[in-house]
A and B are shown apart, each in its own frame.
Chain A
Amino acid sequence: MSATQTKLQRAIVLAAAVITIAAVTGCHKKNSGVNPSSLGPTTASTGEAPTATITADPLTIDQGQSVVLNWRTQNADTVTIDGIGQVNANGTQTVSPSTSTNFHLTAKGAGGTTDANVRVTVRVPEAPTVPTNESDMGSEEVFHQNVKDVFFDYDSYDLRPDAQSSIAQAASYLSAHPAIRVVIGGYCDSRGSAEYNLALGENRANSARTALVNAGVAASRLRVISYGKEKQFCTEENETCWQQNRRAQFSLDR
């Protein structure tokens, strides 16, 4: 045998051995990755932290109405809601709180504990407040004794002299009782057109209002409504009754 033939055979065997070893080691590298299908369900056994969310619909209710709570959790195996107890990982529940409540959800898992909150507001009707002496407007009788209605001539909304003195007296009474608010109604007699009489009644009430404002009463305490000939104080067809109806009337604006 020659030396080259021997070298060639050694090279071939060496190459085959290297190739065989390389093939074996190459496969080994792939197998080092984690096969996801070989893993079980993602329970705490893997060690991930749980997540939780809770919502309520609607967020504001009146007393006596119901609210639907809706929550979702992940990676948790024990889920509890304060006031309800243990619940499923995902679910809904209808509740009827009587007062505003904060719903607190706790989700416990192998990876830790997390919680979520939602606040439901319940509108409770307010109890009427007892009026104190400060805001007391007084009785109707006392009011009407001191604040008299103002009367007008036909088709007129100018204040007559007798009306001027009524206004002055009313203004002083209202200044002495700053809590009183007044609604001024404008009225007309039954003759004439309904539409025009509403506008005239408005002018009459405004005329009285302007006079009171000029006499020192704050404008924000005075409100004006016109009734025209829609509401009447008497129904006879004579001048006495018509005069009774042509007025600006003062009332307590409760």
Chain B
Amino acid sequence: MGGNLVGSLILHGLVAAVIFGWAFIFRSYTPPWGEQASTAGAIQATMVASLPLPPKQRDLDTGVLTSETPSPAPLIAKEKTEPPPTPHEVPIPTKAVKPPKVAPKATPQPPKHVQPVPPQPQKAATGDTGGIRIPQATMELKNGTASMSVQNRTFGARFAYYVNIVNRTVAQNWYTQEADPIASNGKSVTIVFDINREGIPSNARIETRSGSPTLDTSAMRALQRVDGFGPLPQGDHITVEYTFNYRRQ
């Protein structure tokens, strides 16, 4: 028992020393966040609504606001809040690399900035590698694919560009973080909706449940965010089947 107590005291002292020592040593290097005039007003945003711009491509690395949550805080701050919850997970070696991703589950603000940035290939803005070449009906996304078909087959063939617009618009409004990554991984949900002459979607309903309620909800919400697709090039209305396939990258 004494050994436990001594060990515990030593470790607590070590932790305290590290924290205070680090703060003391590194404080002068980086300006305190949010107080320096030139960096004052750093961003604090997890916008729910979206600016009506398409999400920026990987090649753009200046400050971008996407249709989803922009980084609410610089990375350091998030790191600081991690130590308290993580001691329970650290014993598992595999989890050691996860905390930056897992912590968001503890806090209500999921920052999407951390992991995805490094692995993305730097694509030149002028498309040296070419645009993403995808079949019309399927769109490849970061956390899965989205595909759709129009029940009226001639419409789909004749106006493939419109099908593409519907696909793209819904995909851009799909916030994949709303789906629980573990429960939804590998699952698909299909929703069906109508589009009227003015391009306004309505009557959205789930046709095939995925088994992950969060994935189903995220799919329905994606459609709710869309105001319209633009007027139908032909006809009074079309019915669309839209499938979201969630696949963690």
Query: Do A and B touch, yes or no (CB under 8 Å, in the complex)?
Result: no
